[in-house]
Amino acid sequence: MTDYIILGILIIIILYITFLYNDIIIKKNETNNAFGSVDTMLKKRYDLIPNLVEIVKQYMTHEAKVLSDVTTLRTRFSENISNEDKIDLHNNISKRIDNVLVLVENYPNLKANENFLKLQASWNEAEEQISATRRYYNSAITDYNNSIQTFPSNLLARIFNFSSKKVFEIDEVERKNINAKDLFIK
């Protein structure tokens, strides 16, 4: 009789450990799936860069270095790099593109160019899609990180070398509040 009780307890423990392990794997796979969505949206955005560079190049001869940097960084995106490196690369490209878009303010003819306006609309749409997929990715990462950092699944995580993943953070410049008054002074 006690043998059956011990066997039953062992089966319950094994099933519970299997459930915890599978739960971690499901959450890890969800983070990979979520990053795939982010990756797709980033590619869509980066596919707009050559058009942006060509249109802007016609007007901005002095800012050629900024445009060259953006193009160079864009080519790195297609390399086989880690998700964390892609996040860093995205932040770097975003800074450069933001600089280009700020410089556009100095070129009224460029701001009125129909191709540039269409490209800017496409760019804004891509940014909105990236923002949505980034929220999904961060939610999946947080769920995964919580599962490997809380008891008792953290014990399994240590045994099977599951490690925390980095969330997709916006850089300091994007985090700052915009002064609305400055938008209307120009």
Q: How many CA atoms lie within 13 A of 145 on its CB side?
A: 10
Per-residue pLDDT of 147-183, as tens digits, reads 999 999 999 999 999 999 988 876 654 545 444 444 4
The token pair at 183 is: 């938008």
Start-to-end Cα distance in the chain: 86
- Give the model's confidence band at 12: pLDDT under 50 very low, under 70 low, under 90 confident, else very high: very high
* 83, 57 contact by CB (below 8 A): no
- Give the percent of the chain with pLDDT over 90: 32
Higher pLDDT, 162 or 80: 162
- Give the percent of the chain with pLDDT over 70: 86
Check residue 5 and give its pLDDT: 92
- Give the model's confidence band at 108: pLDDT under 50 very low, under 70 low, under 90 confident, else very high: confident
Check residue 15 and give its pLDDT: 95
Query: Rounded to an integer, what distance in angstroms lies between the CA atom of residue 148 and that of residue 142?
Result: 10
Check residue 178 and give its pLDDT: 44
Query: Rounded to an integer, what distance in angstroms lies between the CA atom of residue 169 and that of residue 119?
Result: 25
The domain ranges of the chain are 2-185
Mean pLDDT over each residue of the chain, to the nearest integer: 81
Radius of gyration of the chain (CA): 24
Query: Rounded to an integer, what distance in angstroms lies between the CA atom of residue 2 and that of residue 34?
Result: 48
Write the CB contacts of 78 (distance below 8 Å, at least 6 apart in sequence): none
Whether the full predicted model's pTM is greater than 0.75, yes or no, is no
Topology of domain 2-185, CATH? de novo design (two linked rop proteins) (1.20.1440)
Query: Rounded to an integer, what distance in angstroms lies between the CA atom of residue 173 and that of residue 102?
Result: 13
Residue 90 has pLDDT above 60, yes or no: yes
Higher pLDDT, 58 or 117: 117
Higher pLDDT, 173 or 30: 30
Check residue 172 and give its pLDDT: 55
List own/partner pairs for 110-113 with CB under 8 A and 24 or more apart.
110/55, 110/56, 110/58, 110/59, 110/60, 113/55, 113/59
Higher pLDDT, 173 or 7: 7
Query: Rounded to an integer, what distance in angstroms lies between the CA atom of residue 38 and that of residue 86?
Result: 10
- Give the model's confidence band at 14: pLDDT under 50 very low, under 70 low, under 90 confident, else very high: very high
Check residue 150 and give its pLDDT: 93
